[in-house]
């Protein structure tokens, strides 16, 4: 039973103001639910924590912390927290002697309380293994009960939990002190620092000590941010491809807003409704190569691709520094709503695609899409990466609905199971720890009256598939944490580059869901099988480049057109578009010629999937004794080549997680 009526000591009491025996008796009375008139001899903050633990069903007999991160997960998590760890190193090194004297250990967790790194007194480190105080262990209250890390996160205050104050039996021999680490940019929590030891190592001064350490790390983070932002500004000024006379927003690679060059706040609010002058905010720019992050950010729909320019560091092999986001003029818009949905209105920068101008090959293909667009049936688009599946989906949206109706796009492969569940269905306030105030509308609900485009549908977790199937059958959803259904009405367009029928046979995709989404199946041929369409594609891409970047339109010579028609284009339309963008900015004349092609295309090594770029680590004479990194890089290149660019298959060939593969591709610039 909840223990909300129990009297307890005021919060100004310290952990050592009561004996361990008194606290143990209070814990037993609390678990038994026995109400007494006398005040329980335990701090109010601890009682509050115990009540949270009891309400969510934490087992008080728990002996060890769960180790949740696999080797692959740990690699990814460390990569995502490299700034935090980098700025913590000086503190960790300086503390080692003190930790030995105090017989304690120090560890750093990520924002979710996952242990990233631990150091300290060797004997205490050995004892810590008994409770799984190891890298990869998880310390939120929801699984490990009252402890300094989890309770500091819940209370948002530096916290000490001493001995019997722990909710779970296994941790009662320990004393721990923790403080949250915040990003100085917007004070969002990015980690926690903790000092722990056996209960006889308890000392009140541990609390100001970890608070000081946390502040030192935050100062290091701020210094690192200033240095990086100065590099972004320097690159912006020195690179001639950036037209700094236009209205734009500037972001670092973590998606943090740096500045805008316009004071027209109404224009900025039209582009990002929650924009407030001078207020810190973030965009999730992971899909453009930015850092992966689950910190709170404003929605930014992928239909804004044409407005984003990466800012690279020419001094460090074009390493990504940040992004310049060009703001459409007043008569353009891609209105971004708080829920992440978009509505297209009249725009001079990006004309909505029409089906009869899709350049898909024989007119029969366009006719089939035209008929499919006018039907209410779900559509399944099949095609290689870069073959234009989203472009087709947008053309169907233009044909099927009015310009004011939403087009909501979501990549099912970009989220974990739990995050995808919230993204699809939304949630109500208080549905789970960390849920936003007021809840969040899901992508399905946001697509009401329009198109829901689910890319990489084959990556949808099996646990979510039956729930989504029911939505398609009943046309109603339940937000997470809600018991009342909400009616929805949308047209589904799903897309994938994998063989879904094979996935069904392997038990990785539900048969009933497959037949539900595959009412109409449209296969987009790779560009290599429709090279007769390349001339018209070149013209439409050059038109888009001209209007997007507001520059003079360049022309492709006949020689260049023939050259481009003769290439294989394993990266399909996306690869062709990238090449033409490069040529537009890097050539000096108005007519693009074959010699303006990137150097790797001039030598015949036009693709990362061409055999000439893949070296066999066994047979290569020049690499008889390769470094581990070079061997790994070559293996990854070979796997991607063998899988024809299908990252899911490449990850399976390598025996690693898909997320790990993406991290290594980014690491080696593949």
Find out whether 5 and 35 touch, Cβ atoms under 8 Å: yes
Long-range CB contact pairs, 78-82, < 8 A, 24+: 78/116, 79/663, 80/110, 80/291, 80/292, 80/293, 81/110, 81/116, 81/190, 81/191
pLDDT, tens digit (0-9, with 9 covering 90-100), for 261-284: 776 666 666 667 666 666 688 887
Q: What share of the chain is helix, strand, coil (3-state, %, to 5)?
A: 45, 15, 40
What pLDDT does 328 receive?
A: 65
Residue among 194, 200, 142, 198 at smallest CA distance from 168: 142
3 state SS of 320: strand
The better pLDDT of the pair 443, 288 is held by: 443
Average pLDDT score over the chain: 80
| Distance spanning both ends of the chain, measured CA to CA | 57
What pLDDT does 178 receive?
A: 96
What pLDDT does 11 receive?
A: 47
Cα gap 59→145, rounded to integer Å: 8
What pLDDT does 402 receive?
A: 63
pLDDT, tens digit (0-9, with 9 covering 90-100), for 437-466: 777 888 999 888 889 999 999 989 999 999
pLDDT, average across residues 625-643:
65
**Residue 527 pLDDT level (bands cut at 50, 70, 90):** confident
3 state SS of 73: helix
**Residue 240 pLDDT level (bands cut at 50, 70, 90):** low
Question: Which neighbouring-strand residues pair with 556?
Answer: 592
Angle at 297 between CA 291 and CA 301, to 5 degrees: 85
Which of 30-39, 48-57, 179-188, 300-309 is least confident? Answer: 300-309
pLDDT, tens digit (0-9, with 9 covering 90-100), for 338-377: 233 333 333 222 445 555 545 554 444 667 888 888 888 9
C-alpha Rg value of the chain to the nearest Å = 28
**Residue 484 pLDDT level (bands cut at 50, 70, 90):** confident
pLDDT, tens digit (0-9, with 9 covering 90-100), for 547-567: 777 788 899 999 999 999 888
What pLDDT does 616 receive?
A: 40
Is 437 exposed, middle or buried (CB count within 10 Å of its CB: 0-12, 13-18, 19+)?
exposed
pLDDT, average across residues 306-326:
82
pLDDT, average across residues 415-431:
81
Question: Which neighbouring-strand residues pair with 492?
Answer: 452
Cα gap 305→319, rounded to integer Å: 20
pLDDT beyond 50 at 113? yes
CA distances from 150 to 53, 147, 243, 326 (A): 11, 6, 48, 41
The better pLDDT of the pair 258, 315 is held by: 258
pLDDT beyond 60 at 620? no
What pLDDT does 302 receive?
A: 41
Query: Domains of the chain (ranges plus CATH)?
Result: 1-227 (3.30.450.40), 239-329 (no CATH), 355-523 (3.40.50.300), 528-602 (1.10.8.60), 611-667 (1.10.10)
């Amino acid at each position: 039973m909840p223990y909300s009526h129990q009297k307890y000591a005021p919060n100004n009491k310290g952990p050592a103001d009561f004996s361990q025996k008194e606290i143990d008796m209070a814990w037993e009375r609390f678990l038994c639910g026995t109400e007494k008139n006398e005040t329980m001899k335990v701090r109010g903050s601890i009682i509050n924590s115990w009540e949270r633990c009891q309400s969510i069903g934490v087992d008080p007999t728990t002996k060890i912390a769960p180790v949740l991160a696999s080797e692959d997960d740990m690699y990814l998590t460390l990569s995502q927290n490299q700034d935090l760890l980098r700025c913590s190193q000086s503190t960790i090194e300086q503390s080692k002697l003190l930790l030995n004297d105090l017989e304690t250990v120090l560890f750093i967790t990520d924002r979710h309380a996952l242990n990233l790194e631990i150091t300290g007194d060797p004997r205490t480190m050995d004892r810590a293994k008994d409770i799984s105080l190891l890298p990869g262990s998880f310390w939120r209250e929801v699984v490990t009960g009252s402890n300094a890390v989890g309770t500091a996160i819940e209370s948002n205050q530096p916290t000490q939990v001493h001995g019997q104050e722990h909710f779970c039996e296994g941790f009662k021999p320990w004393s721990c002190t923790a403080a949250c680490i915040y990003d100085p940019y917007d004070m969002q929590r990015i980690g926690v620092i903790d000092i722990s030891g056996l209960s006889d190592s308890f000392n009140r001064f541990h609390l100001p000590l970890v608070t000081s350490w946390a502040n030192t790390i935050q100062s290091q983070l701020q210094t690192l941010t200033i240095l990086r932002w100065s590099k972004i500004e320097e690159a912006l000024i020195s690179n001639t491809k950036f037209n700094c006379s236009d209205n734009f927003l500037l972001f670092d690679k973590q998606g943090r807003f740096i500045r805008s060059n316009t004071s027209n706040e109404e224009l900025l609010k039209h582009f990002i409704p929650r924009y407030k002058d001078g207020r810190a905010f973030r965009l999730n720019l992971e899909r453009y190569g930015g850092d992966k992050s689950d910190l709170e950010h404003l929605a930014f729909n992928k239909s804004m691709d044409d407005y984003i320019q990466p800012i690279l560091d020419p001094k460090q092999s074009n390493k990504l520094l940040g992004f310049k986001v060009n703001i459409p003029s007043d008569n353009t818009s891609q209105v971004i709503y708080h829920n992440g949905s978009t509505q297209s209105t009249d725009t001079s920068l990006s004309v909505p695609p029409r089906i009869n101008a899709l350049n898909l090959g024989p007119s029969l293909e366009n006719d089939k899409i035209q008929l499919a667009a006018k039907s209410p049936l779900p559509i399944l688009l099949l095609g290689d990466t870069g073959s234009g599946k989203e472009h087709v989906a947008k053309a169907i949206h233009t044909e099927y609905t009015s310009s004011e109706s939403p087009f909501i796009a979501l990549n099912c492969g970009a989220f974990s199971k739990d995050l995808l569940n919230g993204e699809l269905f939304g949630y109500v306030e208080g549905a789970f720890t960390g849920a936003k105030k007021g809840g969040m509308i899901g992508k399905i609900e946001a697509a009401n009256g329009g198109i829901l485009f689910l890319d990489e549908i084959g990556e949808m977790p099996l646990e979510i598939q039956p729930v989504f199937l029911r939505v398609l059958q009943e046309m109603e959803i339940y937000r997470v944490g809600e018991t009342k259904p909400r009616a929805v009405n949308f047209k589904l367009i799903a897309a994938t580059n994998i063989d879904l029928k094979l996935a069904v046979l392997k038990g990785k995709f539900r048969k009933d869901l497959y037949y539900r989404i595959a009412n109409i199946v449209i296969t987009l041929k790779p560009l290599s099988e429709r090279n007769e369409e390349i001339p018209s594609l070149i013209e439409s891409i050059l038109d888009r480049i001209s209007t997007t970047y507001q520059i003079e339109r360049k022309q492709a010579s006949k020689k260049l057109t023939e050259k481009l028609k003769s290439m294989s284009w394993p990266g399909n339309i996306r690869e062709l578009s990238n090449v033409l963008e490069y040529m537009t900015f890097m050539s000096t004349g108005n007519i693009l010629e074959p010699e303006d092609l990137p150097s790797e295309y001039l030598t015949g090594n036009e693709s990362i999937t061409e055999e000439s770029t893949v070296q066999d680590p066994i047979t290569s004479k020049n690499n008889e004794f390769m470094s581990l990194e070079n061997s790994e890089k070559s293996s990854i290149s070979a796997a991607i080549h063998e899988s024809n660019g299908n990252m899911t298959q490449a990850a399976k060939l390598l025996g690693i997680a898909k997320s790990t593969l993406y991290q290594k591709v980014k690491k080696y610039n593949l």
